[in-house]
């Protein structure tokens, strides 16, 4: 919504044409890239911040002032706080706009007459340098929290990313854009044959639709080309959109910035007849290993293309009668709607009809009030869990975020066979545990299943005692996962914290804490556990059971010399 509103506002402000603004707003919001990101990487739906940056820049050059450059700095700084990738994207976008904007201004002065050329250039550079210095100083001030975090925790962040991901060179090749992908419709466009879907999914250079669906639409692409063509026409020299913002200057600056962003989104090298040609993106992967998915530069590329397309429609509006241009904009909008489809035009399923029958049976069982569904941390099964909850209508222990980066409570009971899981579930009033596969779990009694479905329901056995406390990780751990025998794993890198939490009320006093540790790297690994600067356990570990007494009123600190896998966590009452 924010992307559509900002694009509508920017185009309306620039071209004074409401119909063009509606078209641009729709194109910016409903591009397939955003539709796919809505299913996984939500943060990459907020491309509106880049539209805001372009708008702030154009507003600045309309009538330069310190107040207006302050808005540009604030908008740029805001984008930095969205996501680490936005740091790169914003830098490229603002760098391109400022450089090509200044270049266009100098070139314009060059054609105004030679006698005062040197003086004009000198005055222009002096003024722009002053604004640029103020922009940099203000941006630096806004970014002090990020700079502090990078200085203090940069090594930990780098180590975490390098362990969780593969080679930056390999992954940047995989997750970079290919020019043809800007012209390939989504694999699931319902208007295309099934054979296209198969072909598209088989030709993804090991990527996935969430990262390689960069279709901009033939309508938008054709209009963008038309906008560039109009910029070279003689009549466009007289089209002044805003003070200091002519049609030709706008298209030139946006087009040049677009080319730069496109080059940086491509693979860092191309193989030409056995010889490697290195592209600008090679500089990025040398600079940092944090930016591996260069295709996400689509967030900057798409607004630039849409603005060029809006310029193309504006050129037609200047040349055609009003009724003809409005009809053409309407036609383009209808075509774009079908181009951007990523789902059937009519429902292809019925939630209640297609839901496994076991959930309808649970809905009819009034004795069941609370359900816990496993697996609890799988991204793929999370949406189904919360969708089927609408059918059975029971309370869910599961969190409402189906990602692997869970809160402390859900991460601590991620494994159904973890020693503390069933006791904690029982203490939280869970009546039924449902699983999406059939695996052994001591402490569960079979309750219900349906033919043709892998979902099974269980009651927690009477022999399982409720646990009033749970041992949870609070910081310093990553890579939460669950193995085939339903035991959860998490990785301790250098230092981390655990906490004894109450399941129904706050926990206080002493408890026996235990967990298993396995070294993930060769060589001697030392682990120390302390609380309030008092050593609770210390020693060398390979595959070791660790047990000690700790107080629930304070966090437990862990430090290791190597990566450790932590499993089978629990906290028990002291005898």
Residue 270 pairs in a beta bridge with: 277
HSE toward the beta carbon, residue 200, CA cutoff 13 A:
23
8 Å CB contact between 191 and 344: no
> pLDDT at position 356, please?
84
In the structure encoding, which two tokens stand for residue 399, read together?
A: 């969190």
8 Å CB contact between 264 and 281: yes
Binned at pLDDT 50, 70 and 90, residue 214 comes out as very high
- Do domains 351-460 and 469-573 share one topology? The answer is no
Average pLDDT over residues 102-108: 81
Binned at pLDDT 50, 70 and 90, residue 158 comes out as low
In the structure encoding, which two tokens stand for residue 69, read together?
A: 């450059």
The full DSSP string for 178-194 is -GGGGGSPPTT-TTS-H
> pLDDT at position 402, please?
44
For the chain, the domains span 2-339, 351-460, 469-573
Of 65-79, 216-230, 327-341, 391-405, the range with the lowest mean pLDDT is 391-405
How far is Cα 448 from Cα 482, in angstroms, rounded to an integer? 24
**Each residue of 428-454: b (16+ CB within 10 Å) or e?**
bebbbbbbbeeeebebbeebbbeeeee
8 Å CB contact between 430 and 404: no
In the structure encoding, which two tokens stand for residue 506, read together?
A: 């706050």
> pLDDT at position 557, please?
96
In the structure encoding, which two tokens stand for residue 343, read together?
A: 């789902």
Longest C-alpha distance within the chain, in Å? 96
pLDDT exceeding 90 applies to what percent of the chain? Answer: 53
- Is pLDDT at 305 greater than 90 in this prediction? yes
**At 274, phi and psi to the nearest 5?**
85, 0
pLDDT exceeding 70 applies to what percent of the chain? Answer: 91
Written in H, E and C, the secondary structure of 446-465 is EEEECCCCCCEEEEECCCCC
The full DSSP string for 366-427 is TT--EEEEESSS-TTTHHHHHHHHHHH--EESS-S--SSS--HHHHHT-STTSTTHHHHHHH
Binned at pLDDT 50, 70 and 90, residue 378 comes out as low
8 Å CB contact between 540 and 525: yes
**CATH assignment, 469-573:** 2.60.120.260
Binned at pLDDT 50, 70 and 90, residue 404 comes out as very low
Model's pTM, two decimal places? 0.69
> pLDDT at position 156, please?
64
Average pLDDT, the chain: 87
- Is pLDDT at 123 greater than 50 in this prediction? yes
> pLDDT at position 403, please?
43
> pLDDT at position 55, please?
96
How far is Cα 49 from Cα 536, in angstroms, rounded to an integer? 49
DSSP 466: P
How far is Cα 265 from Cα 79, in angstroms, rounded to an integer? 19
Of 8-17, 184-193, 287-296, the range with the lowest mean pLDDT is 287-296
Binned at pLDDT 50, 70 and 90, residue 68 comes out as very high
Mean pLDDT: which of 207-211, 350-354, 533-537 is highest?
A: 533-537
Taken in order 61, 66, 71, 76, is the CA torsion positive or negative? positive
Binned at pLDDT 50, 70 and 90, residue 111 comes out as low
Whole-number Cα distances in Å, 247 to 40, 62, 63, 343: 38, 13, 16, 37
For the chain, give percent helix, strand, coil, nearest 5.
50, 20, 30
Per DSSP bridges, beta strands 275-278 and 526-531 are unpaired
Residue-wise pLDDT for 497-543, tens only, equals: 999 999 888 889 999 999 999 999 888 899 999 999 999 999 999 99
| 3-class secondary-structure state, position 170 | helix
> pLDDT at position 405, please?
45
The continuous run of DSSP H or E covering 149 comes out as helix 144-164
Per DSSP bridges, beta strands 432-435 and 456-460 are antiparallel
Nearest one of 325, 374, 383 to 351, comparing CA atoms: 383
| CATH class for the region spanning 351-460 | alpha beta
Binned at pLDDT 50, 70 and 90, residue 167 comes out as low
N-term to C-term CA, the chain: 58
- Is pLDDT at 28 greater than 90 in this prediction? yes
């Amino acid at each position: 919504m924010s992307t559509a509103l900002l694009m509508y506002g920017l185009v309306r402000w620039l071209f004074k044409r409401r119909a063009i603004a509606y078209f641009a707003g729709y194109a910016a919001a409903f591009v397939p890239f955003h539709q796919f990101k809505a299913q996984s990487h939500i943060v990459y739906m907020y491309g509106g911040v880049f539209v805001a940056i372009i708008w702030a820049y154009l507003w600045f050059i309309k009538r330069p002032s310190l107040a207006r450059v302050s808005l540009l700095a604030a908008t740029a700084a805001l984008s930095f706080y969205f996501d680490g990738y936005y740091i790169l994207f914003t830098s490229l976008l603002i760098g391109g706009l400022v450089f090509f904007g200044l270049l266009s201004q100098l070139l314009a002065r060059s054609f105004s007459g030679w006698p005062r050329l040197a003086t004009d250039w000198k005055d222009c550079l002096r003024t722009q340098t002053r604004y640029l210095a103020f922009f940099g100083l203000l941006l630096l001030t806004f970014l002090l929290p990020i700079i502090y975090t990078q200085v203090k925790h940069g090594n930990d962040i780098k180590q975490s990313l390098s362990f969780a991901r593969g080679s930056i060179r390999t992954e940047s090749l995989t997750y970079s854009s290919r020019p043809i992908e800007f012209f390939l419709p989504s694999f699931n466009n319902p208007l295309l044959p099934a054979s296209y879907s198969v072909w598209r999914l088989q030709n993804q250079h090991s990527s996935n639709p969430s990262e390689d669906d960069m279709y901009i639409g033939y309508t938008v692409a054709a209009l963008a080309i038309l906008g560039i063509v109009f910029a070279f026409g003689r009549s466009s020299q007289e089209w002044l959109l805003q003070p200091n913002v002519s049609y030709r200057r706008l298209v030139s600056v946006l087009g040049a910035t677009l080319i730069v962003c496109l080059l940086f989104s491509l693979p860092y090298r191309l193989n030409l007849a056995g010889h490697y040609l290195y592209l600008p993106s090679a500089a990025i992967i040398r600079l940092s290993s944090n930016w591996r998915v260069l295709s996400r530069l689509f967030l900057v590329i798409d607004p630039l293309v849409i603005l060029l397309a809006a310029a193309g429609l504006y050129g037609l509006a200047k040349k055609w009668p009003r009724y003809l241009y409005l009809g053409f904009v309407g036609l383009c909008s209808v075509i774009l709607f079908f181009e951007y489809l990523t789902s059937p035009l009519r429902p292809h399923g019925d939630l209640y009809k297609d839901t496994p029958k076991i959930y309808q049976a649970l809905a009819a069982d009034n004795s069941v009030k609370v359900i816990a569904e496993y697996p609890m941390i799988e991204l793929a099964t999370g949406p189904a869990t919360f969708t089927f909850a609408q059918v059975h209508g029971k309370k869910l222990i599961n969190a409402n975020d189906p990602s692997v980066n869970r809160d402390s409570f859900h991460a601590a009971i991620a494994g159904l066979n973890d020693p503390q899981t069933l006791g904690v579930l029982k203490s939280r009033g869970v009546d039924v545990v449902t699983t999406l596969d059939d695996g052994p779990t001591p402490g569960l009694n079979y309750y219900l299943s349906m033919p043709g479905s892998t979902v099974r329901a269980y009651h927690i056995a009477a022999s399982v005692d409720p646990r009033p406390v749970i041992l949870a990780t609070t910081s310093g751990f990553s890579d939460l996962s669950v193995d085939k025998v339903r035991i959860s794993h998490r990785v301790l890198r250098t230092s981390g914290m655990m906490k004894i939490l109450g399941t129904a009320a706050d926990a206080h006093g002493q408890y026996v804490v235990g967990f298993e540790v396995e070294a993930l790297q060769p060589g001697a690994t030392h682990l120390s556990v302390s609380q309030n600067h008092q050593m609770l356990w210390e020693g060398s570990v390979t595959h070791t059971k660790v047990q000690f007494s700790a107080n629930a009123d304070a966090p437990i600190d862990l430090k290791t010399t190597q990566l450790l896998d932590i499993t089978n966590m629990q906290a028990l009452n002291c005898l």
